[in-house]
Amino acid sequence: MKIRIEWTYRTPKGAEITCRSEEMPAAQGLLFAEDMEKTGRAKHITFIDSFNITWTVKEMKAYLKEVETEPHNITVYFDGGFDRTTSESGLGCAIYYEQSGKSYRLRKNIFSAELKSNNEAEYAALYMSIVELELLNVHHLPVCFLGDSQVVINQLSGEWPALEKDLAAWADKIDEKLKELGIQPEYKVVSRKENTEADRLATQALNGIDITGFKEIMKD
């Protein structure tokens, strides 16, 4: 979750001014708020999230304590491959997240014979990753989605219009699912090299190799 801090600053002579910070991760915002409280000059400290909901310091502490035992700090790599000769598709995603002080990776791929283009396969791969997030019980959190499809990333981020009917339908479906889960998406285009893992999963699906893997990532 990303938030802004709003507080009233009071000088020793009693003059007051209301201030609001730039957006930042909730955990970082709580650290700033606790430090401001120690000065004795910051009053009425509240947090405002991306949905314009207001949180008290006590509520934010409770939320961060609760979310520590749930998946958070989530990054999703996705990729879709389409074989024009056979009209078959492979979808792949790799999800990295933290939970209860540990780091994990989930890998998933799916074969499909129902899609019509590479762009549609890319959209389907992204949707598949969101379904996996739902199964992990991810909700009301920011999630970074990384893919090498400029079409999908730019259309979902609003930079490009989705003029094709099939792609617009996928974009609407994804937006609705994210809204249902309360997920705040951040979309980034990465190079094919940076997206190798998801690409390999999509290729394996096209070749009839099913992958569903879960692994704890040991920290150095």
Mean pLDDT of the chain: 92
Where does 72-217 sit in CATH, by number? 3.30.420.10
CA distances from 153 to 56, 185, 189, 190, 210 (A): 34, 11, 6, 10, 26
CA distances from 17 to 26, 58, 155 (A): 23, 23, 41
Q: Check pLDDT > 90 for residue 142.
A: no
pLDDT at residue number 40 = 85
The domain limits of the chain are 2-67, 72-217
pLDDT at residue number 220 = 62
At 53, list the tokens. Answer: 């909901």
Among 126-130, 140-144, 173-177, the minimum mean pLDDT is found in 140-144
pTM summary value: 0.78
Give pLDDT tens digits for 34-58. Answer: 998 888 888 889 999 877 889 999 9
CA distances from 177 to 11, 80, 112, 119 (A): 47, 19, 20, 19
pLDDT at residue number 108 = 97
d(CA 97, CA 83): 31
pLDDT at residue number 65 = 81
Nearest to 207 by CA among 98, 101, 88: 88
Sequence-distant (≥ 6) Cβ neighbours of residue 40 within 8 angstroms: none
pLDDT at residue number 12 = 86
